[in-house]
Amino acid sequence: MSFLNGFRNVARVCQRLSSTSCVRMQQRTAETLCPVTSFSFVPSRAFSCGTGSLNKFHTQGDQELAEFLEEEINLEKEAQVHAALPRIKGFQMEIEGSEVTLSRDYDGESVQVKFNINSSVEDEAPEEEAAEGKDLKSKPRFSVDLARDGQVLTFLCSFPPSVPNNTEPNEDIFDIEEFFVHGGQGHDSPTQYIASAGIIDGDLYNMFMNMLDERGINSDLASGVIDLSTAHEHKLYIKTLQDIRKFLQS
């Protein structure tokens, strides 16, 4: 009986050794055919490097932003109202970056309207129509310079927060905020006195408005400024998105 037990024990040991040797042999064969480098798993966003899609971008976040910008740019282009910037009749136009200058001559007098589109956009869509989309308008403050004989009379003007949809033809859609007289450097002088139009006599204010109207600074021009500023701001906004996308790919 002890002899049989001893024989069985020897058989079990041989069986285990045989099984272990087989497993080790399989492992060595697999390592030879397909070597594997051990690593520790670190949770991260799934991203495939095999396509080379990261070659253009520093990070996956940059790629996601670039893809979103591409869609946004296409949508903004579809929403463009003007293929080219609108012109304002009777005025020459000069544009440098975000600044726009409109100029004309009036009986030997130089008339200039200047405005900057930065921080000028507001949403004019009524609250009940907000879900249908935004009605973005650029309504910048603008200056009017009337220059003659080395002197300049300047009016600083602005648009009310909202323009009624049913504006009457003779109703002013812009306001005079301030005015002053200078020798040409008053815009940049810290000592220049500037008068507020909000505290002057009503008749004097109306006469100032008539003075501007005679020189073509009226509601028609103000509406043109809104259209021009809105189109130019939208154009530069799209260009900014495109420049950001190029930056991400650089």
Exposed, middle or buried, 232 (CB in 10 Å: 0-12/13-18/19+)?
buried
**pLDDT tens track of the chain, all 250 residues?**
444 344 444 444 444 444 444 434 444 444 444 444 444 444 443 333 334 455 678 899 999 999 999 999 999 999 998 889 999 999 999 999 999 999 999 999 999 999 999 999 988 766 655 545 678 999 999 999 999 999 999 999 999 886 455 555 557 899 999 999 999 887 888 999 999 999 999 999 999 999 999 999 999 999 999 999 999 999 999 999 999 999 999 8
d(CA 165, CA 225): 17
pLDDT score, position 232: 97
Q: How far is CA 122 from CA 14, 96, 119, 138, 217, in A?
A: 87, 22, 9, 6, 23
Record the tokens describing residue 120, joined without a space: 């000028």
∠ CA 200-206-211, nearest 5°, is: 115
Record the tokens describing residue 28, joined without a space: 């060595």
d(CA 151, CA 96): 25
Residue labelled with tokens 């798993």: 41
pLDDT score, position 115: 98
pLDDT score, position 171: 73
d(CA 54, CA 62): 9
- We find that the CATH architecture of domain 75-248 is Roll (3.10)
The full DSSP string for the chain is -HHHHHHHHHHHHHHHHHHHHHHHHHHHHHHHHS--------------STT-GGGG-SSHHHHHHHHHHHHHHHHHHHH-S-SSPPP-TT-EEEEETTEEEEEEEETTEEEEEEEE-TT-EEE-S-GGGGGG---EEE---EEEEEEETTEEEEEEEE--S---TT--TTS--SEEEEEEEESS-TTT-TT---EEGGGS-HHHHHHHHHHHHHTT-SHHHHHHHHHHHHHHHHHHHHHHHHHHHHHHH-
Residue type, 128: E
Query: What angle, 0 to 180 degrees and rounded to 10, lies between the N-to-C axes of helices 219-249 and 60-79?
Result: 150
Nearest Cα to Cα of residue 217 among 180, 174, 249: 174
Question: CA 166: distance to chain centroid?
Answer: 31
pLDDT score, position 123: 81
d(CA 27, CA 19): 12
Record the tokens describing residue 199, joined without a space: 């505290």
